[in-house]
């Protein structure tokens, strides 16, 4: 396995023992003697090689595509998390759920809570 990895310019990394993060693994490529050397774990390389054979592309090209895809996924997850925890800075009269205190009629309360009285219908 290591010889096959070295032929394709991949550098072997031993398996991780103590997991510190359960996030994406960010593999990098280093330029060595004018050519890129790719660093990866053996199990990732086996999966990458199988997928590249099915897609009929070179393993290194598949790896570059996976790196780009993982980077975009991480960016999307970060933006989604940011948007989910975002609170609006400016609130308008239509965004509030407050009902006027001096009304008792149920129909008036519903109309005022959703702002129907301000519409030109």
Residue ranges per structural domain of the chain: 2-84, 89-121
**Is residue 103 pLDDT above 70, yes or no?**
no
What's the confidence (pLDDT) of residue 56? 92
DSSP string, 40-63: EEHHHHHHHHHHHHHHTS-HHHHH
pLDDT at residue 82 greater than cutoff 80: yes
| pLDDT at position 6 | 72
Q: What radius of gyration do the chain's Cα atoms show?
A: 28
8 A C-beta contact, residue 27 and residue 56: no
Residue of higher predicted confidence among 94 and 6 = 6
Going 6 to 11 to 16 to 17, the CA torsion angle's sign is positive
């Amino acid at each position: 396995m290591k010889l096959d990895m070295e032929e394709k310019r991949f550098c072997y990394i031993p398996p991780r023992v103590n997991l510190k993060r359960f996030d994406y693994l960010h593999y990098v490529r280093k330029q060595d003697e004018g050519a890129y050397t790719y660093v990866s774990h053996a199990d990732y390389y086996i999966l990458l090689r199988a997928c590249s054979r099915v897609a009929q592309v070179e393993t290194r090209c598949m790896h570059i595509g996976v790196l780009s895809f993982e980077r975009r996924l991480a960016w999307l997850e970060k933006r989604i998390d940011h948007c989910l925890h975002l609170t609006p800075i400016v609130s308008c009269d239509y965004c509030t759920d407050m009902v006027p205190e001096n009304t008792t009629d149920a129909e008036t309360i519903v109309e005022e809570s959703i702002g129907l009285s301000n519409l030109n219908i």
